Structure 1
Amino acid sequence: MRDAVLIAAQSGRALAQAARRAGLRPYVLDLFGDEDTLELAAAHRTLPGRFGMARRGAEPVLAGLAALTEMAGDRVLGVLLGSGFEDAPELMARIAARHRLIGAGPGTVAALKDPLLFAALCQRLSIPHPRVTTEPVANRRGWLLKRSGGSGGSHIRAATAGCAPPDHYFQQRVAGRAFALNFLADGRGIATLALTEQWSRPSAVRRYRYAGAVAPGSGEPPPLADELLNEVISAVARLAEATALRGLASADLLLDGARWWLLEINPRPGATLDLLDRRRTPLLAQHIEASLGSLPSLDPSPVDAAGSEICYAPQRYASVPPLDWPDFTRDRPRAGSLVARDAPFCTVTAGGPDSRAVQQSLRDRAGAIAALLDGREDTHGYRHHAAEHQRAGRAAGRPSGH
C-alpha cells in the first residue's frame, strides 16, 4: 500500500492532486468538498464554516484529522497544511503535537505572518518592505487596511479612520507589478522554482482580490534584470534562514522598474501549485524532502508557460446545477452546493508557448465558463463527459479567498 498524507486547507484540491502525482494517498479535510477534490481524495471530511481554520475553533480541525488518520492506517507520512492557517500558529502547534507537520512549523508561521514582527525583521535584514502600523494614519489615501494572516486579497480595504481594528493593520501603498518568487527552503537556503506574475480581479467591494497567475516558459525574457532578481533571491534566502523556513513557499513582490518591495512570505503551498508542479520530479516529493531539511536538486524548468485564473460567481447559486465541466476546469463545486455571489466558482487552467498566449487562453476559457453558467451556448469545444457517479456529500458554501 502506498503511503498516505493528511491534507488540511480551506481548499485541498491542489494539494490532493499534487499528492496523487507524487504517488501518495491523500486524505483531505477542507471547507468545500469540491467534485474533483472528492475524485482525488482517498477519503474526505468537510469542515464547518467559511473562512480560515482558527475562526472555526481547533476542535473540528483536530477531530477531522483524527478521523482521517484512523482511516489512513499506519503508513501516514504527516500533515500538509494549505491556506487557512496563516493566522493560526497555536492551532498548528496543537496539530504538531499529534501529527508530523510537513512544511513550515508554527514558530516560523508566527514570525512571518505577524505583520509588525515581519516588518521589523525586514528592516533588520535591510529588505525593502512597505511601512506598517496599527496606529491612526494621517493620509488615509496613502494606506491600505489588511487583516493579519489574510490571504487571497479579498481582505484588503482602503485605510479607515482611527486605530486599525483588532487583528488588522495598515500598510503603506506602493506601486508596481505583482509577482511571486516561488521557492523551496530547507531551513538554511532556498532553491528558486519560478517567478510568477499575478493579477487581481476587482469587485465592487473587494478591489484587490486575487484572480490568477502565470508561470513563464523557459525561453521567455525575464521580467527583471539578473542583478535585481539575484537581489530578491538573496533577500528571500536571508528571511528563510532567519525564520528556519522549510518546504514550498512564495514571496509576494511589487516591482517598479529598478525598485521592488517584499510584501509578505506565504510559508505554504499556494495558489500557483498547479503551475509549479510540471517538472519531471513531482513537486510534493521535493516539498517533503525540503521539509526534512534537505534542499533538492531541481529538474530543468518547463519549456511552455502555464497559468490559472479564478472564475468568480456572477450571481448567487443556492444550488449549483449539474454541469458538463470542461476539462480545463479545477475546483468544481458539486451539484447542489451553495456559491455566494462574487465568491470563487471554479478555476480555469491553460498552457501555451509563452505568458501572453496563456493569458489570452485564460480569458477565453473564463468566457466559456460564463457562457456555461448563462446557459447560452457550448463552451467552444472545451468539454468532457461528466463522471457517471458523483460522490455523496453535503453542500458547502464557498467564501471569497477560496
Structure 2
Amino acid sequence: MTPDITPAPEGSVEPFDAVDVIRTKRDGGVVPEDALRWMIDAYTREYVADSQMAAFAMAVLLNGMTRDEIRVMTDAMIASGERMSFAGLGKRTVDKHSTGGVGDKITLPLAPLVASFGVAVPQLSGRGLGHTGGTLDKLESIPGWRAALSNDEMFAQLEGVGAVICAAGSGLAPADKRLYALRDVTGTVEAIPLIASSIMSKKIAEGTDALVLDVKFGSGAFMRDVDKARELARTMVALGTDSGVATTALLTDMNSPLGLAIGNANEVRESVEVLAGGGPADVVELTVALAREMLALAGQPDADVEKALQDGRAMDAWREMIRAQDGDPDAPLPTPRETHTVTASAGGVVERLDALPFGVAAWRLGAGRARAQDPVVHAAGIDLHVRPGDEVAPGQPLFTLSAEDDKRFARALDALEDAYAIGADAPASTPLVLERITA
C-alpha cells in the first residue's frame, strides 16, 4: 500500500516542523491530522530525528491523545508500509492478540481450534523479550518447524489448513518498528496511545476481518493496574472498530501464571494436552472463551468449541498446521539436562504464586532473552505442581526448574524468593475473565 503522504523530494521544503508538533502535544493541544500524518511519515523516512520523536512520545505519555489523534496516528503507521488482504480467500478471517503474560500459550491450541470450524486464522506472532514468552519461540521447540513464510505460502496454508502461526513480514507498519524500539529506551513504553497504535497498526495492516484482544492485568502483565488495562482495551477496540475491523476484547487476570508450564517446549506439551481434551482448567477456560469470541465475530455464535477439543477435530487441525510448516508433530520435544525441584517447607494452603517473578526466573533459566538477538533454550523453564488454593504437605513438590546448566538455578531461585506463600487461608476466588469489552 502506498503511504498517504508522498516523501518530499530531496532539497524541497517540508510542509511541517517537528518542533511545532512537539510543542502542540507538550502544551496539551491536539495535533492537526495532516501534521500528525506528516510526523509519522517523516520519522519513518528518517527526516524527523530520534531525539524529536522521543520528545513527542514523552509528551504523549504525559498528556495523552484524543481518540481521533490515536486513529490518525495508527492509520499513518499502517500507511508507512504494505497492507495485506485475504479478500480472495473465500472464508472469514479472524485473529487474536494477547498483550502477553507468564505461561500464556493460548495461541497454540486456539488457532487450530478455531480453524476446525472452517474459519481462517492468520496469526502473525512474535518472539519473547524479557519475562514474557514468544509464540514463535515456543513453536520452534518442534523439530523442523519454521516461522518464516512467504505471503503465498501463508495464503495457501489458510486456504488448505485454515490456520497459520508465523512471523510478521518486515513490510507491515515499519513506522511502528522504529517507534517501538525508541519507546523501549526512552521510558515511554507505558503510554496507552502508543501501545494501542503499535498493536493495532500491525493487526489492521495484516488484513483480518475480525480481531479478538486478550488484554491482561496483574503482576505478570504488561499493564498491572486493571483500570489501565481496561483503558487500553477500550482504546484498541475503538481503533479496530474505526478501521472497519470487527473487534472485541476480554480483560483477563495475569496475577498468577497461566497453566502449569512456563517456558517453550513444556508450554507446547501443555498445549497439546489441551488439544487432546485435557490440560489445566484455566488454560482450557481461556482457550474456550477466546474461541467463542472469535467464532462469534466470524458468524458462528453457537459453535460448540468444547466438543471440538474432545472429539479430535482441533488436534487434527494442529497436526496439519505443524506439518504445513515443516514441523513433525510426533517428534520428541527437547528435554532439559538439569532439573531442580523446590518443595514445601511446611504444610498449609498455597496462598499465592506471583506471575512476574516466575516469568523472570524462567527467563534466567534460559527460556527467554534479554536482547532481541539472544537465543532461547527450548528445554528451559518451570513446571508448577500446585496452584493457588491447593493444600500441600511438608516436603511436597511445589515447582521444578529446568535448565541446560545447573549454574542458572541460583539466580532463578533468587527471583522466586518471595514469589509464593503457604499459609492457613485459601485465597479469595477471582474470575479469570473479568470483563468483555465491545465498541
Higher Cα radius of gyration: 2
**Greater helix share, 1 or 2?**
2
Question: Common fold, TM-score beyond 0.5?
Answer: no
TM-score, structure 2 as length reference: 0.31
**Greater strand share, 1 or 2?**
1
TM-score, structure 1 as length reference: 0.33
Query: Whose relative contact order is higher, 1 or 2, with alpha carbons under 8 Å and at least 6 apart?
Result: 2
